[in-house]
Structure 1
Amino acid sequence: MIARHAIRSLRSLALGLLVTAGPVAAAHAADTKIKVILNWKYEGEQGMFFLAEDRGYFKQEGLDVSFDQGNGSGAAVPVVANGAYDMGFGDINALIEYTAKKPEDAPVAVFSLYNRPPFAIAVKVDSPIKTPADLPGKKLGGAANDGALKLFPALCSITKTDCGKVEITNMQPNLREQMLMQGQVDGVFGYVTTIRFAARGIGIDADKQLRLIRFGDYGMDLYSNAIIVSRKLVKEKPEAVKGFLKALNRGVKDAMADPKAAVASVAKREPLIKLDLELARFEATLIDDMGHPEVAKIGLGDIDEARLAKSIDIMVSAKDLPRTPAVKEIFDRSFMPPLADRPTVVKAAM
């Protein structure tokens, strides 16, 4: 009798363990895999993504997220559209162009991070190029998928510059500043922060040796990089999109509160980065790319619909796009955390 009772007890215990373990195993198995392509190689400003990952915020939302280095902000849009990635950190202007041409395949932006126009052309400080009007007859270079290069036709249109008289050459991104300083090109395309800190990394004092022609100074008050999501993920797993943004929002706030921790998370993926340089890059990104005054009113992540509509009109006109996408085709705010949970002041506690 004792043996039978012991066997029954063991069976009951085993069954109880299975029942207890069941939900845990099921939850683990149910983690939604999300494959994300970033805008560029691993740098300091991407610490907000990696800090969220290292602190388990994505896991807490039932997500299994993987990040890949990108090849330019414009390049993220087509690879999310074709299903190679579920999400991307890409240029919303490239998304506008894609949506105008292929609305049935286009992803949608759900969280705006770079809300100030970072696009620029860098020239040497002693260059005769001071405005876009000085560009005809000159040679400019940039990476094929660089956001500023892709927006050059729009700048030419707005400033009435003859783009056809400007020679464009493509180059590897890591050679950009060197080729400029060596005189192989007269100017280079890029993001303000990227150019400044890439230059600093090779011993160039960008503030003293370079002049930046900023697109934003010529009527191009455009949004830039946002989280873009595939139509498939939005349709099939909307809660996963909400969970991702909730986790990322926490990562952004943590990164601003502890920039060193954010950059340390980047260093785990790319040990060769220079920590001091990347800390400075992160702070500059907050100021130059993420610190638009509208954040105080609408919070980081959201957009001003009138401003985005104007951006769409600029892109359609400058690139002679076949149609004008509606704002709701480009941006969907329904997945964002509430305003009370999102930053309304963008700065780092350095």
Structure 2
Amino acid sequence: MITRRAATAGLGLALFAPAVRAQALTPIKFTLGWKTQGSDAPYFVARDKGYFREAGLDVTIDQGEGSGATVTRIMGGAYDAGFGDINAIIQNAATRPADTPVMVYQMWNQPPFALVAKKSSGIATVKDLEGRKLGGAPGTPTTRLLPVFAKANNLDMAKLTVTSMAPNLQEPMLIQGQIDAALVFNITSYFNLVLNRQDPDKDFVWFAFGDHGLDLYSNGMMVSQKLLKDNPKAVAGLVKAVNRANVEVAADQNMGMAAVRNYDGLVNIPVEKRRLQYAFDKLIMSPELKEIGAGDVKDDRLARAIGMVVTGYELTRTPAPAEIFNRSFLPARAEREMAYKMT
């Protein structure tokens, strides 16, 4: 009887142990910046390889509604963390600093904001934009920062005509010649053109804001103020897991794309692999990243970027860099060394 009871108790403990381990994981609701894209690969790799679980986290990843919407989703309490735009953090921190999420891992070191025009339009320089019709989606950083871009490049805003339109109409109207240039996110517009059977390199000219006076930061991983205060260990684990996956994806995009496919079997793998590589080429790899490592920012550059956003959005308060970015959860510099190799 004693033996049977002992065996039964042991079996009960064995059956109960997985439940205990499962309960010990901290649930994290994570929102992407948009629908599933190849550039999201690090988050899926961290999930599939168990890096989140190793950090004691049970991370649920949902598709997003825009990189700016990531901020409002987290502020509304529906999500604990997400991938979104640091400039939207700046915008909201100016008026609601206690509620606005904080960036803890800067993924895109360079901004995706750009103007794109058909080469056949005759637009070859920024100055050629004067007297032309531009198409922009209302509220997007590219559109809102156009006056700052114009000032930095000696453009007369009075000579620019900006037509408001939905983002999905920008490339079709550009192709059809209904607008002369579009105010876009390059990593989105480039592949919209590809999907419209255009050659974005051969037939279009691009004016990246980052190359023309607007040295801004862009998308990265942010967390809620609540998570930051209530569970800093979870934040550290989240950052460590994503950084590890990000470094691995830089070295092996095929591995990254396998994780993307596991998450969403409907993605166009060839296009999304190109998007992933485009992200590394245009938005992630930079002299600054090689100097300070993946995930970090330079405070003086961030302060200048905050000033540009305050001007562009006509904000009434200028947030301090410490309100926008928190580097205290970053892994050691050696763990954030990134060597990108196209695979």
**TM-score normalised according to structure 1 size:** 0.90
Partner of 1:4: none
Deviates more, 1:71-80 or 1:238-247: 71-80
- 1:128: how far off? 4.1
Structure-1 separation of matches of 2:185 and 2:341 = 20
Partner of 1:214: 208
Is 1:8 the counterpart of 2:2 in the alignment? yes
Deviations 1:264-307 (A, max 9, x none): 22223333333222222211210100011111221100111111
Partner of 1:74: 68
CA contact 2:136–2:162 (8 Å) conserved in 1? no
User: Measured at CA, do residues 273 and 25 of structure 1 come closer, stay the same or move farther in structure 2, by a change above 3 Å?
Assistant: closer
Partner of 2:253: 259
Is 1:84 the counterpart of 2:82 in the alignment? no
Letter in 2 for 1:268: N
- 1:323: how far off? 1.2
Deviations 1:204-258 (A, max 9, x none): 0011111111111221111110111111111111111111111111211221232
Aligned-pair identity in percent equals: 39
Partner of 2:230: 236
Partner of 1:181: 175
User: Measured at CA, do residues 264 and 120 of structure 1 come closer, stay the same or move farther in structure 2, by a change above 3 Å?
Assistant: same
Letter in 2 for 1:316: V
Structure-2 separation of matches of 1:280 and 1:330 = 31
Structure-1 separation of matches of 2:148 and 2:119 = 24
User: Measured at CA, do residues 109 and 127 of structure 1 come closer, stay the same or move farther in structure 2, by a change above 3 Å?
Assistant: same
CA contact 1:73–1:147 (8 Å) conserved in 2? no
- 1:168: how far off? 2.9
Aligned with 1:318 (options 312, 315, 326): 312
CA contact 1:157–1:318 (8 Å) conserved in 2? no
Aligned with 2:161 (options 147, 160, 166): 166
Mind listing any 5+ residue stretches in structure 2 that lack a counterpart?
none
Is 1:154 the counterpart of 2:159 in the alignment? no
Query: How many corresponding residue pairs?
Result: 342
CA contact 1:73–1:145 (8 Å) conserved in 2? no
Deviates more, 1:186-195 or 1:217-226: 186-195
- 1:332: how far off? 0.3
Is 1:100 the counterpart of 2:94 in the alignment? yes
Structure-2 separation of matches of 1:21 and 1:342 = 39
**TM-score normalised according to structure 2 size:** 0.92
User: Measured at CA, do residues 26 and 74 of structure 1 come closer, stay the same or move farther in structure 2, by a change above 3 Å?
Assistant: same
Letter in 1 for 2:115: I
Aligned with 1:304 (options 295, 298, 305): 298
Letter in 2 for 1:200: V
Secondary structure of the 1:101 match is: coil
Across the aligned residues of Structure 1 and Structure 2, the Cα RMSD in angstroms comes to: 2.1
Structure-2 separation of matches of 1:227 and 1:63 = 16
Letter in 1 for 2:108: Y
CA contact 2:277–2:342 (8 Å) conserved in 1? no
Deviates more, 1:278-287 or 1:10-19: 10-19
Secondary structure of the 2:60 match is: strand
- 1:15: how far off? 2.5
Q: Specify the structure having the higher radius of gyration (Cα).
A: 1
Partner of 2:104: 110
Is 1:28 the counterpart of 2:25 in the alignment? no
- 1:322: how far off? 1.0
CA contact 1:297–1:344 (8 Å) conserved in 2? no
- 1:193: how far off? 2.8
Secondary structure of the 2:30 match is: strand
Partner of 2:241: 247
Partner of 1:327: 321
Is 1:60 the counterpart of 2:48 in the alignment? no
User: Measured at CA, do residues 318 and 172 of structure 1 come closer, stay the same or move farther in structure 2, by a change above 3 Å?
Assistant: closer
Deviates more, 1:241-250 or 1:16-25: 16-25
User: Measured at CA, do residues 132 and 104 of structure 1 come closer, stay the same or move farther in structure 2, by a change above 3 Å?
Assistant: farther
- 1:142: how far off? 3.9
Structure-1 separation of matches of 2:301 and 2:194 = 33
Structure-1 separation of matches of 2:324 and 2:135 = 29
Is 1:202 the counterpart of 2:196 in the alignment? yes
Deviates more, 1:329-338 or 1:61-70: 61-70
Deviations 1:66-110 (A, max 9, x none): 222222222211221221211121111121111112212111100
Structure-2 separation of matches of 1:271 and 1:20 = 36
Letter in 2 for 1:207: D
